[in-house]
Structure 1
Amino acid sequence: MVNESGVTWRHAAGVGVVVLLVCYGLLRWTTAQGHGLPHMSWFILVTLVLLSVAVLAAGWEVRDYLHGTSMRPPSPQKARRALVAAQAAVLAGAMFAGWFGAFALIELGRLDASSALGGMIQAIVLCAGSIGAVVVGLVVQGWCRIPKDKDDDDAPGGGTLRA
């Protein structure tokens, strides 16, 4: 599923769209049955921001070393953790963006209710925070990419070695 370029914005967009469609359908069905919408909290935004800061901090040491500003190499475990955290931030951010996007669309359809505008604005802000986590994850994943050496030889014949 993930190729050598890692998790891409296309993966994130695909996950976000699928989650948006599924959650929109479920939220629409539950509200049609007379149930209320789940409660959203601003605490989620704080969590997304802290997650993004932690991913940035994890990837910064790898970035410094690969850009030559640090002579101390990060341990392979730290570099691997930074990469995995970045990829997790991309996918989790995409899922949250889909969920909050669906929530905003449901609230958009019921703007005649007094509480719908506040809920829609909150869902849009949380969706934007989720997209921010996706962007941070993609940036940090790029920082963790090891540049190809110019003197590395390709496999003979331009392909992979076969036994």
Structure 2
Amino acid sequence: MKPISPLLLLVIAVALAVLGWLAALISGRYSLQTPVLPLTGLLTMGVIVALTLILGIRVLRWRNGKKKKMLNPILAAWTLVLAQACAYTGTVLLGWHAGIFLDQLRLWSVRSGQSITWETLSMAGGGLVMVVVGLVVERFCRIPPEDGDAEGTPGLQGKRGKPKAEGEYAYRGD
């Protein structure tokens, strides 16, 4: 699985900021509600971030040798997928709400209640937290190359694709 490219995340965030800005502009023009997620979405985002961190710390502890028990490889793969999904979801939420916030800035002095603006900022902040946690946990899931490994692929020696021994996987044999 390829690591997430920060440049791709930036492109996604900018594209969704433009879309969010356009959606807020159109909804304001037609007197519709501003398309912002409710603050209860922060609760869901918090649960996702906490779960991602817990699973990521579990993988990190195993990787650093603090756990002697074999880590379930499926759980490690799920943790990596969850971390990447968390980063992408956070990027979408950050971009969308940042675009809406930019639209709300021009109306700051005209509006009496800026609750939408604060909701937008808090949702964008939650998206930023999701991106950071996703990228950090993705780093937790990387296995460092072993000594003497020319290609940098754990569990491989000499020729690419040939395991060191029959039935041996890329894990510490403590």
TM class by shorter chain equals 0.7 to 0.9
Runs ≥4 residues deviating over 3 A = none
The alpha carbon displacement at 1:9 in A equals 2.4
Native 8 Å contact 1:94 1:131 kept in 2: yes
Tell me if 1:17 matches 2:17.
Answer: no
Tell me if 1:126 matches 2:123.
Answer: yes
> CA–CA distance in 1 between the matches of 2:5 and 2:64?
22
Q: Compare 62-71 and 21-30 and name the one that shifted more.
A: 21-30
Counterpart residue identity of residue 8, structure 1: S
Are the structure 2 counterparts of residues 154 and 104 from structure 1 closer, same or farther at C-alpha, using a change threshold of 3 Å? closer
Counterpart residue identity of residue 107, structure 2: R
Select the structure that is richer in helix: 1
Q: TM-score, normalised by structure 2?
A: 0.80
1:105-120, aligned counterparts within 5 Å? 105-111=102-108, 112-115=110-113, 117-120=114-117
Residue identity (%): 22
Structure number with greater CO (CA < 8 Å, separation at least 6) is: 1
1:1-163, aligned counterparts within 5 Å? 4=2, 6-38=3-35, 40-111=37-108, 112-115=110-113, 117-154=114-151
The alpha carbon displacement at 1:35 in A equals 2.3
CA RMSD of aligned residues (A): 1.9
Counterpart residue identity of residue 129, structure 1: G
Any gaps of 5 or more consecutive residues in structure 1? none
Q: TM-score, normalised by structure 1?
A: 0.86
> CA–CA distance in 2 between the matches of 1:150 and 1:131?
36
Residues 39-89 of structure 1: per-residue CA shift (max 9 Å, x gap): 541111111111100101111221111111111121110000000000000
